Copies of this chain bind each other. A is one copy, B any other.
């Protein structure tokens, strides 16, 4: 059915090796045979079978892209950048949707069956051990949006969640809020824990500020809305740091529905700066994660590890910054600016 190497070889009147070599970067072929082969290939419409060649070269150019975040709009941007970035470097993303699975065994087996060259785990909620399972299985792996660790076992690229928590706290302090709160994502998500730690850490130096905490059941609109609705039933804080933009938007919706206004009655600051957050009817003050940089670094790192497998695991964290929009009261003039 399909055109193979052999067909081209016969048509061009050369050996199969010659054909293989013309399609292999840096192999030794005279320009004369190359021309013959290319002509024959063109006429037959031949293109080499990447999977067959992977058998001998050991490289498939397939990268497993694993995620469990198929409900957070931020991840559409993430998938866009990952797929584009991988394609631009000649790699192909094999997408794995983890949904509610948290055991890596199946994914490891599946990606091994397809001999992927490397694996990218894109998730802020999976535990570090998930990515480690791929390393144990001998696959180059990078955990994107993962958690910082002083002695990492696998490459981690992301943000310093503790620093972000602190940054959020400082933003609220600078704006003179006296009763603040953290509205986190799922309590056991590593990112939630770290953000809470940073937030509380910074506020420890400000005992005059009252601080509370609560958790939404997921990084989702509904969870944020439900939790904020609950909070509004008693005395709410003056401003909330929400562990995620989509959570913030849920909270925003609950606040408006209660007849209160943002930022006059309650302030909100999110985290991520997904595209939607800048929409003028949302206009969320938030902390921006430099997504393109995180993804670029993740890809570079996985490629680097494919090339030198014994590379020492490293953690690359990118700085975030506050994006000033409309859900926090303006910075009071003369207040300490960070």
Chain A contacts with B in 222-271, Cβ cutoff 8 A: 225, 249-250, 252-253, 256-257
Please classify how large the interface on chain A is, using the bins under 10, 10 to 19, 20 to 34, 35 or more. Answer: 35 or more
Q: Given contacts A51-B54, A55-B51, is CB(A71)–CB(B75) below 8 Å?
A: no
Task: Pick from A92-100, A123-131, A192-200 the stretch touching chain B.
Answer: A92-100
Which B residues are in CB contact (< 8 Å) with A257? 280-281
Q: Given contacts A55-B55, A249-B281, is CB(A80)–CB(B84) below 8 Å?
A: no
Contact across chains for B113 and A97 when beta carbons are under 8 A apart: no
Which B residues are in CB contact (< 8 Å) with A83? 70, 95-97
Cβ contact of A97, chosen from B50, B84, B280, cutoff 8 A = B84
Chain A contacts with B in 61-117, Cβ cutoff 8 A: 62, 65, 70-73, 75-77, 79-80, 83-84, 87, 92-97, 99, 109-110, 112-115
CA distance A181 to B338 in the complex (A): 49
Nearest chain-B residue to A50 (Cβ)?
B113
Nearest chain-B residue to A60 (Cβ)?
B51
Contact across chains for A253 and B281 when beta carbons are under 8 A apart: yes
Q: Is A49 an interface residue (CB 8 A)?
A: yes
Nearest chain-B residue to A72 (Cβ)?
B76
Cβ contact of A225, chosen from B92, B93, B110, B280, cutoff 8 A = B280
Q: Given contacts A249-B279, A281-B256, is CB(A115)–CB(B49) below 8 Å?
A: yes
Number of copies of this chain in the oligomer? Answer: 2
Which B residues are in CB contact (< 8 Å) with A75? 76
Q: Is A47 an interface residue (CB 8 A)?
A: yes
Taking beta carbons and an 8 Å cutoff, which residues of A are in contact with B?
1-2, 47-52, 54-55, 60, 62, 65, 70-73, 75-77, 79-80, 83-84, 87, 92-97, 99, 109-110, 112-115, 138, 221, 225, 249-250, 252-253, 256-257, 275-276, 279-282
| Sample (22) of A-B pairs whose CB atoms are under 8 Å apart | A2-B112, A47-B109, A48-B113, A49-B115, A51-B51, A52-B55, A70-B77, A70-B83, A71-B76, A71-B275, A75-B76, A76-B76, A79-B95, A83-B96, A87-B97, A92-B110, A94-B94, A249-B281, A250-B279, A253-B281, A257-B281, A281-B281
**Given known contacts A51-B114, A87-B96, A250-B279, what 15 new A-B pairs fall within 8 Å (CB)?**
A49-B113, A49-B115, A50-B114, A55-B55, A73-B76, A73-B276, A76-B76, A76-B79, A80-B97, A87-B97, A93-B95, A94-B94, A94-B95, A256-B281, A257-B281
